[in-house]
Each structure stands twice: as C-alpha cells, then as structure tokens.
Amino acid sequence: MTDIIVINIVVGDRTYRLKVNKNDEELVRKTVKLINDKIVFFKINFAGKDMQDYIAMAILWFATEQNQAGQFMIKEEETKARLSSLQSLLDQALDEEE
C-alpha cells in the first residue's frame, strides 16, 4: 500500500491538487504557507504589480534561500572533513609518541 495522498493547496490566487507522500504533507503545507506569506509581503511592498509578478518574486526568494542553505551544508561537510583529517593527524602523532 502506498502512502501517497491527494491534497489541495493554494498559491497566490490559484488552487492546485497535489499527490504527495503522507510523511511530506506537513512540509509541503508549511512551504506553501511560507511562499504565500512572501507573496503578501511583496504585494504590500511593491504595489501595482500583478499576481504573476508577486509569485515570481516569492519563488525567486525561496529558491535563493534554498541555495544559501545548500551552500551552508556544503561548507559544513568540508569543515567536518577537515576536522576529521586533523583528528587523524593528532591520533598518528600520539601513536608515534607511545
């Protein structure tokens, strides 16, 4: 049995029907809320645009945030690798002293 469910979400002024993994429903709904909150933010700060412009701005903002998080994770992995390398060098130096 699959854990796929159908949910309805609203982005901007449109309703979309999605099939998502049951475990991902909360994440999808939180993401949609975040995007809709940004759309409202852009509507308030950039009056006179149409909904397509607000959606594009919100999605661009969201993609940039995701990219920044990805870069952080890459730097974190590089740091872990360097620390592991340093730990190995220290372990070797301690072994040689014994």
The per-residue pLDDT for range 48-94, each reduced to its tens digit, is 789 999 999 998 998 888 877 656 666 777 777 888 888 888 888 88
CA-to-CA separations, 96 to 86, 87, 89, 91, 93, in angstroms, rounded:
15, 14, 11, 9, 5
Q: Residue 11, SS3?
A: strand
Q: What is the DSSP letter of 98?
A: -
Listed in sequence order, the residues at least 6 apart from 81 whose beta carbon sits closer than 8 Å to its beta carbon are none
The parent domain of residue 17 ranges over: 4-97
Q: For the chain, what is the domain count? A: 1
pTM of the predicted model as reported, rounded to 2 decimal places: 0.65
CA distance 52 to 44: 15
pLDDT for the residue 69 = 64
Listed in sequence order, the residues at least 6 apart from 35 whose beta carbon sits closer than 8 Å to its beta carbon are 11, 58, 59, 62
